[in-house]
Amino acid sequence: MTPHPQAARQEARRSEAAGGISSGQGHRPRGRVRTAARQGRHRGRRAGPGIMVRLIWACLLGVLSATALAQDDWLRDSWREVIAASAFQEPLAVASEERPHSVSGSVHARLDHPFGELAEALGSPAAWCQVFFLHLNVKGCFQDPAGDEAALTLYVGRRHYEPLADAERLDLRWRMIAAGPTYLEMVLEGDRGPYGTRAFRLQLRAVPDLDGQSLVQLRYSLVYGMTARLALRGYFAFGGRDRVGFSEAPDEDSAGLVGGMRGMIERNVMRFYLALVAHLEARALPEAERLEASLSRWFDLTERYPEQLREIERGAYLEMKRRELARQRQGEGG
């Protein structure tokens, strides 16, 4: 993917800073006194290239700024079109794509949160641990005890309380790609994904919208080989046979909705998106109340889509999460 112009602009500023440091004047020859005019001519000759370099960089930065703004406008317009064309009764769209050895799902949405608030709320690995934890299959999320704040350890398991030793461990890394006044991009990546898959990747991109709102794109992708394909085929043949996603697939025998790998990735990217929404809404509360409130809110949001997302009763979900939270606060598995 071509780097966003804001990232290129940051690199240009660093290069400009490096190029703007001029070397000191050379030693004056002994016994030789320059006239003021000759010194002025000398300084002028030396200053000329420096001025030209600064002018060139200034022009380049202007071009990059204009390009970044144009790309932001293009993203905003294209995302608005995707959301407007959606069948959802809210500003939300879900899509997926399956290739021979990979699958990806994405959510486009308009959030009632200012862009600056969104960037602050999600601009740290710790915040994403809180977001991940709301997912019913996430048994725990821990930051690196050695102090590498960008490293997260995720435990994925069944929809009931279980020891972390029985859950699948995923090691992820959080990276901020771009954080500017009109564009935000970050990614969480890992070599392994759940159920024997590889190349876990969750990417968030955002731009400001009108009236203090924000437009976001959340994209989740996995790569799978033969082992994972066989395991998932078994799941789809039994427990996951009738599970569907959100986007239409008139050519499939699943009430017009996608199933299989596409249905699975759409359900999970939607769960991550709803966790993000619940996390943002809970920030208005006192810190001691936020996590409990976000758990309740996440479950309520998933109940809007019972055909796709209902897997557990509310009481069972909250009890499971409270036990997992108590375990997490004790630092197990970190």
pLDDT bin (cut points 50, 70, 90) of residue 303 is very high
What would the DSSP string read from start to end of 167-205?
Answer: SEEEEEEEEEEEE-SS-EEEEEEEEE-GGG-EEEEEEEE
Q: C-alpha dihedral over 287, 148, 135, 280, to 10 degrees?
A: 40
Place of tokens 């290239």: 49
Q: Which two tokens stand for residue 85?
A: 């064309």
Window from 141-145, 157-161, 235-239, 311-315 with minimum mean pLDDT? 235-239
Window from 23-37, 164-178, 264-278 with minimum mean pLDDT? 23-37
Residue 149: exposure state from Cβ atoms within 10 A (0-12, 13-18, ≥19)? exposed
Angle between helices 115-122 and 125-133 (to 10 degrees): 90
Q: How far apart are alpha carbons 213 and 109 in whole angstroms?
A: 10
> CB neighbours (10 Å) of residue 332?
15
34: helix, coil or strand?
coil
pLDDT per residue as tens digits for the range 13-43: 444 444 443 333 444 444 444 444 444 444 4
pLDDT per residue as tens digits for the range 86-145: 999 999 999 999 998 999 999 999 999 999 999 999 999 999 999 999 999 999 999 988
Nearest partner of 72 among 213, 219, 212, 206, judged by Cα: 206
Q: How far apart are alpha carbons 169 and 68 in whole angstroms?
A: 38
Q: Which two tokens stand for residue 256?
A: 């017009």
Q: Residue 245 pLDDT more than 90?
A: yes
Q: Which two tokens stand for residue 215?
A: 């437009």
295: helix, coil or strand?
helix
Could you tell me how many residues make up the chain?
Answer: 334
Question: Do 151 and 171 meet the contact criterion of CB atoms below 8 Å apart?
Answer: yes
Question: Do 327 and 305 meet the contact criterion of CB atoms below 8 Å apart?
Answer: no
pLDDT per residue as tens digits for the range 53-88: 776 666 655 555 555 566 788 999 999 999 999 999
Question: Do 5 and 177 meet the contact criterion of CB atoms below 8 Å apart?
Answer: no
Angle between helices 287-302 and 125-133 (to 10 degrees): 50
Radius of gyration of the chain (CA): 26
